[in-house]
């Protein structure tokens, strides 16, 4: 079974990204053959500064490698290092009705938010279809917002196969329903666009600032507090085991401590959780050539598969003569 997923290089990652996507993707290395790439071409739709894109690509690579992406087990590369995908993108464009793209939620949302419409933004799902179909992907783990894009890839594959025969593999999206949305410091969905994030690899001081911002009710030290509706407790649930959570519940039920104490308990757990990764991260940051070498090997592995598949597709449509 081949599992494929792409990550847009968007820089700073927060614990919502980690528990919502990254952790799941890294764990899927044990479920099948994982193909994971940094979606650099896709990022061009939003990142228009050279240095920012370069830095983001490197940051995402470092973060994923530190968090357990294993280049021996999986194929991990930068999308634009395997440009064959762009040829498939063009071939598939000719099997993509305009209506399909105009109806895409993500496109409609972006243009509704005032982002200027251009061809890259509109055809974004065709490139995503090419990513998926070039590698004969069976399973595509995605967040809810990306399900429609995988459906579009299926529609395109269907039209193509109806024209040329059974050449493209039908992908299935996989959404982990059990994964709750991680709340931000204000209780709403944690998102970099809401300024309510707790970053994974922030300095201790910055982490403290973010954790201390978590919104709670105004019950005082001498009062009993309710854990089940508390934002601090909800975040504790991500980092603590059952015994530790029971201890927290008792602390909420026993007068004498305030939310500041609970926040410190949370902060200690966050530090403890990410400390081993932070060490690895330092290593990769200080050894950029090692990171680039890993990505180059990944691109080589991906290229081989891409070229073979593309050759079959070129043949099917009549480009090999
Ligand atoms: P942001 O909302 O901060 O811009 P992205 O849209 O770049 O985050 O999300 C990247 C990935 O992280 C997606 O797969 C998304 O589903 C996941 N993700 C982002 N925020 C959360 C959250 N608060 N809880 C769970 N998953 C999240
Ligand atoms: N569009 C995806 C996102 O923003 C990233 C992505 C690009 C992707 N190509 C893909 C995800 C192929 C899965 C498969 O999250």
- pLDDT by residue for the chain (321 residues), tens only, comes to 999 999 999 778 899 989 888 888 899 999 999 999 999 999 999 999 999 999 999 999 999 999 999 999 999 999 999 999 999 999 999 999 999 999 999 999 999 989 899 999 999 999 999 999 999 999 998 878 899 999 999 999 999 999 999 999 999 999 877 676 899 999 998 988 888 999 988 888 999 999 999 999 999 999 999 999 999 999 999 999 999 999 999 999 999 999 999 999 999 999 999 999 999 999 999 999 999 999 999 999 999 999 999 999 999 999 999
pLDDT computed for residue 178 by the predictor: 66
Cα distance between residue 248 and residue 236, in whole Å:
9
Specify whether 189 is catalytic.
yes
- Residues having CB within 6 Å of any atom of ligand 2: 4-6, 8, 39, 42, 128, 131-132, 140, 142, 146
Long-range contacts of 27-33 (CB under 8 A, 24+ apart): 28/3, 28/141, 29/68, 29/69, 29/70, 29/73, 29/74, 31/1, 31/3, 32/1, 32/2, 32/3, 32/138, 32/139, 33/1, 33/2, 33/3, 33/74, 33/75
Ligand 1 neighbours, Cβ below 6 Å, are: 10, 16-17, 20-21, 143, 181-182, 189-193
Atom of ligand 2 nearest to the CA of 127: 9
Phi and psi for 263 in degrees, rounded to 5?
-65, -35
Q: In a mutational test of the pocket of ligand 1, which residue from 143, 178, 196, 197 has the highest number of ligand atoms less than 8 Å from its CB?
A: 143
Per the structure block, which two tokens stand in for 198? 């707790």
Q: Report pLDDT for 312.
A: 98
Q: Ligand 1: which residue has its CA nearest to atom 21?
A: 16
Structure tokens at 155: 């529609």
Taking the C-alpha atoms of residue 117 and residue 9, their distance in angstroms, rounded to an integer, is: 21
- CA atoms of 106 and 110, how far apart (whole Å): 6
- CA nearest neighbour of 136 among 165, 102, 172: 172
Q: What is the pTM of this model?
A: 0.90
Q: 197: buried, middle or exposed (CB in 10 Å: 19+, 13-18, 0-12)?
A: buried
């Amino acid at each position: 079974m081949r599992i494929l997923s792409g990550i847009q290089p968007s820089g700073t990652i927060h614990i919502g990204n980690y528990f919502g996507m990254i952790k799941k993707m890294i764990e899927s290395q044990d479920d099948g053959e994982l193909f994971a790439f940094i979606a650099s071409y896709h990022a061009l739709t939003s990142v228009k500064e050279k240095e920012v894109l370069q830095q983001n690509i490197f940051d995402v690579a470092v973060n994923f490698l530190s968090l357990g992406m294993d280049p021996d087990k999986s194929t991990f590369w930068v999308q634009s290092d395997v440009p064959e995908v762009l040829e498939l993108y063009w071939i598939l464009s000719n099997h993509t009705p305009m209506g399909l793209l105009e109806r895409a939620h993500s496109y409609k949302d972006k243009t509704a938010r005032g982002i200027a419409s251009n061809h890259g933004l509109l055809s974004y799902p065709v490139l995503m279809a090419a990513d998926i179909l070039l590698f004969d992907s069976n399973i595509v783990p995605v967040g809810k917002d990306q399900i429609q894009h995988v459906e579009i890839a299926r529609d395109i594959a269907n039209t193509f196969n109806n024209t040329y025969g059974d050449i493209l593999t039908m992908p299935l999206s996989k959404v982990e329903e059990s994964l709750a949305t991680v709340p931000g410091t204000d209780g709403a969905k944690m998102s970099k666009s809401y300024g309510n994030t707790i970053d994974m690899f922030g300095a201790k001081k910055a982490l403290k600032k973010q954790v201390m911002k978590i919104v709670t009710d105004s019950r005082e030290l001498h009062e009993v507090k309710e854990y089940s509706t508390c934002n601090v407790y909800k975040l504790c649930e991500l980092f603590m085991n059952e015994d530790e959570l029971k201890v927290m519940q008792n602390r909420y039920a026993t007068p004498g401590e305030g939310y500041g104490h609970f926040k410190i308990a949370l902060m200690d757990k966050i530090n403890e959780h990410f400390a081993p990764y932070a060490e690895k991260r330092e290593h990769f940051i200080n050894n950029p050539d090692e990171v680039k070498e890993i990505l180059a090997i990944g691109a080589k592995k991906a290229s081989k598969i891409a070229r073979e598949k593309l050759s079959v597709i070129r043949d099917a449509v009549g480009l090999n003569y």
